[in-house]
Chain A
Amino acid sequence: MRKQWYRLDNAALIFPAVMRKNWNNLFRVSATLKDPVDPAVLNRAVSDLLPRFPTVFVRLRTGFFWYYLESLDEAPAAEEDYAWPLTPMSRRKLKKCCIRILYYRNRIAVEFFHSVTDGNGGMTFLQNLTARYLSLKEGLKIPAEGRILDPAEAPKTEETRDCFQLCGAKRGISRAEENAYRLRGNPEEGFFRHIVTGILPTDRLLEKAHAEGVTVTAYLAAVMAEAVLKRQQKDANAGRRRHIKITIPVNLRKTFGLETLRNFTLAVNIGFDPELGEYTPGEICRLMHHQLAAETISQRMAGRVTTNVQLQRSLALRLVPLPLKTLAMRLVYSISGESKGCLNISNMGVVTLPEVMEPYVERFDFIIGVQYSYPNNCSVVTWNGKTYISMIRGIRDSELERLFFSTLVERGIPVDIESNGR
């Protein structure tokens, strides 16, 4: 059988080019069930989903001009989870499979190389895997609704397409912006990443955000910006106080009304200049909210997508062999790729499941890996009235997490803390 292959989507192009031996761009979604996971049933569920998700069960291949993804003939086996989540995938591993399916006690986790899909695509896959697992294990009849797809159906064209090519504007807009303050610290040994998860009651968080007249994402970005600002004020080496900016990945599916299982997000940076004066928490909230609203209107998003796509379509660039292209991309990425934001806050939003599945699922988690030069990142997911905020860091210093979560506590939101600390 001829193997199906896919060009990398526009957002995915950069990840194989900039990956290092000790770092690549990964994220992880996990579902914790009420009962322990049976690995044999999980493996059957994975195999059943192989034909339904041809863009997820892929390996990374190297062409002469570009990298591309090739569908797998055989589903990867589920492995027992690691003590070190989001351990980088080596090139050799990526040539075999770009995802890891993991289990530990009651938890099913999937780690994705970001070229495969984004958080939304990842969550769709995880929910389908969980649904298939529960239907095999518990004999549930799960309807194909919401994110749950019919496993017997053939994959639809819109699920496998690169939506970036469909939503451009007439011309692109400039990507120039001020550099942001860079968080630093003593790097942690090996591939160990500290993950601190704060569990918040969603109604209290919503109440506080609505009291400020902002969305939850803007509210959390504002609290995080305050924490980064306090961190900067304590940083003796900061020198000139650079902009405090939070990077928010925006799900373009809602913006453009398109559906895909591949990458379709675009990051926007929102923040302020601390050199201009002091800001009250309320002012920071409003700043974040209005900037986020202004940046995420479809016209600006389309303009930014166009800028990225134009570069990809340029004939001069397309004819350059991959090694040279990789070199250029690495150079550009190291100069400006991660200099425009202090850290990411990726908010997955509210996860919903078909009613029949709900009694079997305890919680969902969403963790994004650290960037090459930012030591901290943050991801958020809401399930069943609780908001799970996972902060990951590759450094020993936990000051940013402390400032962030203690600010939430000071504002009257109770926070339960879990960590993978050793």
Chain B
Amino acid sequence: MYCVYCGVRLQEGVRECPLCHTKVQIMEEGGTQEASAWPDRYPGAERTAGRILTISLISVILLAAALGCLIFCLKSRGGVAWSGIAGLGMALFWVWVVLPSCFRRWRPMVFLPLDFACAAGYLLYICEATGGRWFLSFAFPVTALAALLTLTGVAMMRYIVQGRLRLMSLLVIAIGLSFMLVEFFQHITFGTPMFVWSLYVMSVFVLAGVFLLVASFIPPLRLMLRKTFFY
């Protein structure tokens, strides 16, 4: 069986030429597929034992540290006190870092919403524990905004193939504008003056976004950017 394009002889049973990827159209009568010369075993599987040990070790250390803090506070302060913040901080670390490594593949659209939800819950606990009134008007909307922008960015990178640069430039502009919203939430919560720092940050992001947007319409500039930042 020969490749009609390259002229090389192919192994029996292959679906396409490995050189030019031309599909093999005519399968020889009674032709059998040759046994693959390469196995299905992947080197990643080997690391599982070591990985489980590391995950278990980190989890045990975190749990011991959290319990240690709790016992110390119960004995010395007679209550949970700061050990709740420390313990939940360790739990947050576990969710963010240790939990994803329990899975073979990190799935951002599953883990990222969970990470942001846990972060919001942690901030709510700190707010309640310290008697603050900043969660609903500041921490929650800022966390939600960050989650929205991150998930949009990740979804764009994963699921959109065409026009990524253009969409990315719009996202960069949106991130810039979101800093003004953050300062707005800061203003209504803490009474700080408006537009002290966010205008500068927003300007930088909007300029970068506009540059990327312009680049997306100019093929040589787009190619130059791709070449420079490829690896």
Contact = CB atoms under 8 A, between A and B. Distances in A.
A414 B38 contact: no
Nearest to A419: B18
- Assign chain A's interface to a size class: 20 to 34
Nearest to A403: B19
B43 to A, nearest CB: 5
Contact of B20 (A84, A187, A398): A398
Name the residue in A184, A420, A421 with the highest tally of chain B Cβ atoms < 10 Å from its Cβ: A421
B38 A83 contact: yes
Contact of B38 (A81, A416, A417): A81
A402 interface: yes
Given A187-B231, A418-B11, A406 B19 contact: yes
B9 A417 contact: yes
B227 interface: yes
A230 B65 CA distance: 62
A107 B37 CA distance: 9
A85 to B, nearest CB: 7
A278 interface: no
A87 B37 CA distance: 17
Contact of B41 (A82, A414, A420): A82
A82 B42 contact: yes
A398 B10 contact: no
A81 B37 CA distance: 10
B83 to A, nearest CB: 36
Interface string A2-19: 000000000000000000
Name the residue in B11, B18, B20 with the highest tally of chain A Cβ atoms < 10 Å from its Cβ: B18
B41 A405 contact: no
Name the residue in A84, A401, A417 with the highest tally of chain B Cβ atoms < 10 Å from its Cβ: A417
Contacts of A406: 6-8, 19
Name the residue in A198, A398, A402, A420 with the highest tally of chain B Cβ atoms < 10 Å from its Cβ: A402
A81 B40 CA distance: 9
Contacts of B6: 402, 405-406, 409, 417
B110 interface: no
A418 B37 contact: yes
B17 interface: yes
A199 to B, nearest CB: 9
Contact of A83 (B7, B10, B19, B42): B42
Contact of B19 (A80, A84, A187, A401): A401
B18 A184 contact: no
Nearest to A106: B37
B78 interface: no
Contacts of B17: 417
Interface in B19-69: 19-21, 35, 37-43
Interface string B145-175: 0000000000000000000000000000000
Nearest to B34: A418
Contacts of A410: 7
B223 interface: yes
A40 interface: no
B103 interface: no
Contacts of B38: 81, 83, 85, 104, 420
Nearest to B9: A416
Interface of B: 3, 6-11, 14, 17-21, 35, 37-43, 223, 227, 230-231
The 9 closest A-B pairs by CB, nearest first: A419-B18, A402-B19, A409-B7, A417-B8, A87-B43, A406-B6, A420-B38, A416-B9, A415-B8
Interface of A: 80-85, 87, 104-105, 107, 184, 187, 191, 194, 196, 198, 236-237, 398, 401-402, 405-406, 409-410, 414-421
11 contacts: A81-B39, A81-B41, A83-B40, A107-B37, A187-B231, A236-B223, A237-B223, A406-B7, A414-B9, A416-B9, A417-B10
Given A80-B39, A82-B42, 20 more contacts: A81-B38, A83-B38, A83-B39, A104-B37, A104-B38, A104-B39, A105-B37, A184-B227, A196-B18, A237-B223, A398-B18, A401-B19, A405-B6, A409-B8, A410-B7, A415-B7, A417-B18, A419-B14, A419-B18, A421-B14
